Structure 1
Amino acid sequence: MGEAKRREQIEPNFGHVPKKANYRGLVVSPPIEIEGNRLMAKSSNLDPQELRFALLFWDRLVWPSSRFIHFASGPDETFLESAGILNRTEYTFNGDVAQGIAKGHIQAYQDLERTEPGVWALAQGENSFLLKEGLADEGNGALIELHRAIPIPKHDVPLAEILEFRQRRRDELVLLRYQLESFVSEMESAEDKALALQKHIAALDEACSNLLAVGKEWQFPVYLSNLKASFSLTPAKFLPAVAGGWKIGECYGLTAATAVAAVAGAVSTLEIKADYGLRTIKRPTSPFRYAYLIDQELR
């Protein structure tokens, strides 16, 4: 029996891309940190590693621009603009420059979210947009983190190769994104939350292992990484304590992903934590922001 036929029999989602995960976009930024009226920019271009992470999992990218501080597109950004993947929408606010940049970034996300609810998310972290205050409230959100469970191409991999891979392996990429997006909404509606949690962890484990298996076949260098997805809903609201002792911060093993990664000392896990929740934007139950952290090389 062929490998594809075997997987089709034992994996219900193999070869099937969920309809509602057809299109997604991410608001991106150079590595800038804003606190009050202080703005610190590590670079005027998108971070190469951050860009490759974004390009792998999202179909379109938006990088807001401003007339007050103009970060010009570099070769990578120009290439993606010409390909119709990256858009440089202008958002200029009068007053304090740092807060004007922050408002522009947030407004771009709000406009996109209002037009296409549940489609757009923010990239946030040390290598992208890091706003110290004003966007979210601590404790009003949930974070689902996949530890050592996803492959990300290294910073010097040509963008054209990532685009080619993204088209060729779209099913595996979209399936992981779908499983993360549907986690909260399906847990909220489940009558037996303990069983639903078990099924969702197994589904995410399967999605990660499939993607890692593909990642090990890539001809370019790959990192084994963590992926963080933030929801604007507290864990207790969609997943109250269940029989068996579930608690915030507990790690669940991803045995299939661990087996596929096969890196010394690398155990793949899933963790649910309390996190920041959006302050003013009414959000669907899909993640509103994503971040990643490189762990080690996959091979």
Structure 2
Amino acid sequence: MRGVVISNVELLGIKRYRSSRYLDPIKLRQYLLYWDKIDYPECVDPDGFFESLDSPEINFLERANVLKRTKVNIKPRSSRVYEPYFIKAQLTAFKLNNELEKGCWTLAQSNAELLLPKEDAVLTRNLEVDLFQCLPIPSQEVSLADILLFKEHRRDELLEFRSLLDNLYLEIIASGDPDRVKVKNIEQLQQKLIEINSIMSESRIKRLMGNLKIEVNVSDMILKTAGAIGAATLFHFPVGVSAALGFASSFINVKSEFGLKPTSIPEGMKDYAYLYYAHKNLV
């Protein structure tokens, strides 16, 4: 089982946030397709500071036992700024879930950079895997029930995609020749993305090509070792198939960068953050 803790907060700029009354329907479909369980934490305050953020789609997924709402008790200050509390609730739920199911839960946000409170984060060098305009995502027109049915019928392909992501960074870290390992694993990952896109087309699922950045936790010792990660590398999709299948502008990037990570990451956990950001037109 792999679960994801989500938030309705979007970063607009330095100390500028935006939260929505309802979850973005496309983001919700992303989470539903690629994850087994979703936790959408709920801030709870006795004085009624926080409104309920339920919706028909959230209620449907709760009844389907796919989504849950971890209740996080938060005593707000007098300010009417909600967003920092929602992020605090996300981190609290992330910690609680991983205490129950160690290493099975990650964070997801709709930002290009992970948004974390200073007191709950540490700046570190991470391994990043960036999928640019190559992640097939069901469009808003696709019902949640149809996505659940698709997952049931195509579970093996989706699990293989997850396994390829896991193997990519595990093999890069373990290899003495990271550039060669990256080429081999990226080619396999590209083929799997093309396959998922094709089977979604066969199932008549309208979709977008979205972006996904995965932030991976690796030790400082590994990152300080010369050549341990290799140079930042762009991998474009094969020319012969990319244009016809909607991957003409797509690429996968693997690099090492500085970024924030939660202080509450369980020991041994690797992929701790999945950042789904801007999508493009329907294909």
TM-score by length of 2: 0.82
* Paired residues for 1:160-179 under 5 Å: 160-179=145-164
Which position in structure 2 is the counterpart of 1:63? Answer: 40
Percentage of identical aligned residues: 26
Tell me how far apart the structure 1 counterparts of residues 165 and 224 of structure 2 sit (CA, whole Å).
15
Tell me how far apart the structure 1 counterparts of residues 237 and 12 of structure 2 sit (CA, whole Å).
36
Pick one of 218, 232, 245 that aligns with 1:233. Answer: 218
| TM-aligned CA deviation for residue 180 of structure 1 | 1.3
Tell me how far apart the structure 2 counterparts of residues 32 and 140 of structure 1 sit (CA, whole Å).
23
SS at match of 1:297: coil
Contact 2:128 2:216 in 1 (8 A): yes
| TM-aligned CA deviation for residue 253 of structure 1 | 2.4
SS at match of 1:281: coil
Tell me how far apart the structure 2 counterparts of residues 150 and 239 of structure 1 sit (CA, whole Å).
31
Tell me how far apart the structure 2 counterparts of residues 45 and 177 of structure 1 sit (CA, whole Å).
28
Which position in structure 1 is the counterpart of 2:100? Answer: 115
| TM-aligned CA deviation for residue 29 of structure 1 | 2.0
Which position in structure 1 is the counterpart of 2:254? Answer: 272
| TM-aligned CA deviation for residue 146 of structure 1 | 1.3
Pick one of 222, 241, 244 that aligns with 1:262. Answer: 244
CA offsets, 1:135-178, max 9 Å, x none? Answer: 44445222201122221011232110111111111112121122
SS at match of 1:52: helix
Contact 2:4 2:105 in 1 (8 A): yes
- Between 1:75-84 and 1:99-108, the stretch displaced more is 99-108
Tell me how far apart the structure 2 counterparts of residues 282 and 117 of structure 1 sit (CA, whole Å).
10
Which position in structure 1 is the counterpart of 2:236? Answer: 253
* Pair 67,39 (structure 1): closer, same or farther in 2 beyond 3 Å: farther
* Pair 294,191 (structure 1): closer, same or farther in 2 beyond 3 Å: same
* Paired residues for 1:209-220 under 5 Å: 209-220=194-205
Which position in structure 2 is the counterpart of 1:49? Answer: 26
- Where does the alignment leave 5 or more consecutive residues of structure 2 unmatched? none
Contact 2:168 2:186 in 1 (8 A): no
Which position in structure 2 is the counterpart of 1:10? Answer: none
Q: Which amino acid aligns with 2:134?
A: A
* Pair 105,79 (structure 1): closer, same or farther in 2 beyond 3 Å: same
Which position in structure 1 is the counterpart of 2:64? Answer: 83
- Between 1:107-116 and 1:183-192, the stretch displaced more is 183-192
- Where does the alignment leave 5 or more consecutive residues of structure 1 unmatched? 1-22
Which position in structure 1 is the counterpart of 2:5? Answer: 27
TM-score by length of 1: 0.78
| TM-aligned CA deviation for residue 197 of structure 1 | 2.1
CA offsets, 1:186-211, max 9 Å, x none? Answer: 22222333332222212212221211
Contact 1:25 1:59 in 2 (8 A): yes
CA RMSD of the aligned region, Å?
A: 3.3
- Equivalenced residues, count: 272
